[in-house]
Amino acid sequence: MKRFLWVFLAMLLFWAALGNFISNQYRLHDSFKETRQQLMLIAANAALGIDARELMEIPLQESGDNSLAYQAVSDKLDIIKQTNPSLKYVYVMTTTDQLGILQYMADADPAPQIITAKCRRALPGVQYDGRAFPEMLKAYSGTAADKKITTDAWGSAISGYAPIRDANGKAVAILGVDIDAIQIRALQKKVRLSCLLALGVS
């Protein structure tokens, strides 16, 4: 009888742990999906506010941040960032003559607490290897967002992208918005712990 009660209790614990794991998996999936949709919406709306003609006047060299065109675009990016406090970075990139290699055109000032040697405002003309970020490269065709957490010299993030089009409707650049991946990572850790608990009880 005691053995039966212990087995019954163990089974209850197992199913409870398994249920918690499944529930957290759904939460993680829904949270990631919602984050992607939010980032695409923010990027799409923000891209509409960037003047492509003004953007193309920015000299793509490090001193280009002193130009009036850069200041005008950068100010708009700062407003986008201030309007959406969850954003860590807001920036504009365009293509180079190398496939998959982009270059910065303008970048909003990051929050003071995250400015480091590896985490600074990107200057015009600074190249970025986008070959490991397929959703970023797709953004010339339409809004997109990372399907997983990405990591580069600026940290781990989830990013949304949208094309910036000229008066003829041609995509001349992309606007990117990043949020820190800390919350998603915390939820992923919780899911892993739930899985380990279910296995341990099993």
Chain mean pLDDT for the chain: 80
Q: Which residues pair with 85 in a beta bridge?
A: none
Section 4-15 average pLDDT: 61
- CA-CA distance, 10 to 1, in Å (whole number)? 14
Please, which pLDDT band fits residue 1 given cuts at 50, 70 and 90? low
What pLDDT, on the 0 to 100 scale, is given for residue 174?
Answer: 97
**What pLDDT score was predicted for residue 49?**
93
Of the segments 2-6, 58-62, 159-163, which one has the largest average pLDDT value?
Answer: 159-163
Residue range 178-191, pLDDT digits in tens: 988 776 666 556 55
Distances (CA, A) of 66 to 61, 70, 75, 106, 108: 10, 7, 13, 11, 14
The CA distances from residue 130 to 39, 40, 99, 105, in Å, are 18, 18, 9, 15
